[in-house]
Structure 1
Amino acid sequence: MKRHLLLLVACMAPFAVQANDFPTSGRVEYVLECMQKHESKYEYLYKCSCVIDRIAKAMPYDEYVTVSTALRNQSLAGERGALFRDPASVKEMASKYKALQAGANKACYVPER
């Protein structure tokens, strides 16, 4: 029985990694930025970690990087910012991410800022 269980766990491990493939550095960056928005209070270490964990369960890391890059650069003026503001695909992707983040913030008790 133990042998079958070990074999099952060994076979499932690659799928678990793929389902939650955010690198530690990406998670830390998110948590630090989130904490900074909330006056660097220590309690937000756990709350912001909860948020990024929920985001990681809902989307692959490559998609997260694309969306977060677009959102950060939407405030650029002129043509440079237009690349991140105007395309319909970017707007749709950003709205889905914002909804996901808002739901995660609510579930993890992180107020919007």
Structure 2
Amino acid sequence: MFSRLPVALAAGLIVASACPSRAAGDYPTTALADYVLGCMKSNGETQEMLQRCSCSIDVIASIMPYDDYVAAETFKRMSLTTGEKSTLFKESAPAKASAAELRRAQAEADVRCF
């Protein structure tokens, strides 16, 4: 078991090195963890997906400032609600711009990490 540890670490370093580095503290740890857990839930709860999902949020963080990410996620989640007031979160110019920026960042993350 212990003889495999260096290989696993080396493999992890190879995957991690392909991902962009970002300044520490750009995104709070809870936001990173929330994204990675959701990504793994959707794509499989394996070590490989842990690496890929971690890479994905790093790419997004390198493209979008955290405040923009929060705004885009808020618009996205609120647009899923029903009722008359949800139209504001679906059709307003800021909502559309935030959604487009988030989709672009996620598409780039998919290309680089998956």
CA-to-aligned-CA distance 1:2-43 (integer Å, 9 cap, x gap)? xxxxxxxxxxxxxx45xx610111100000000111132332
Are residues 1:96 and 2:106 paired?
Answer: no
Q: Distance in 2 between matches of 1:41 and 1:83?
A: 38
Relative to the length of structure 1, the TM-score reads: 0.73
Q: Distance in 1 between matches of 2:86 and 2:106?
A: 22
The alpha carbon displacement at 1:77 in A equals 1.0
Relative to the length of structure 2, the TM-score reads: 0.73
Q: How many equivalent residue pairs?
A: 92
What is the root-mean-square deviation of aligned Cα atoms in Å?
1.5
Whichever of the two has the greater Rg, that structure is: 1
Identity of aligned residues (%): 40
Aligned partner of 1:71 in structure 2 is: 76
Q: Which of these residues, 49, 58, 62, is aligned with residue 63 of structure 2?
A: 58
Aligned partner of 2:38 in structure 1 is: 33
Q: Give the 4+ runs in structure 1 shifted more than 4 A.
A: none
CA-to-aligned-CA distance 1:45-92 (integer Å, 9 cap, x gap)? 110000101111112111111101111221211123212101022112
Amino acid at match of 2:46: K
- What secondary structure is seen at the aligned counterpart in 2 of 1:65? helix
Identify unmatched segments of 5+ residues in structure 1: 1-15
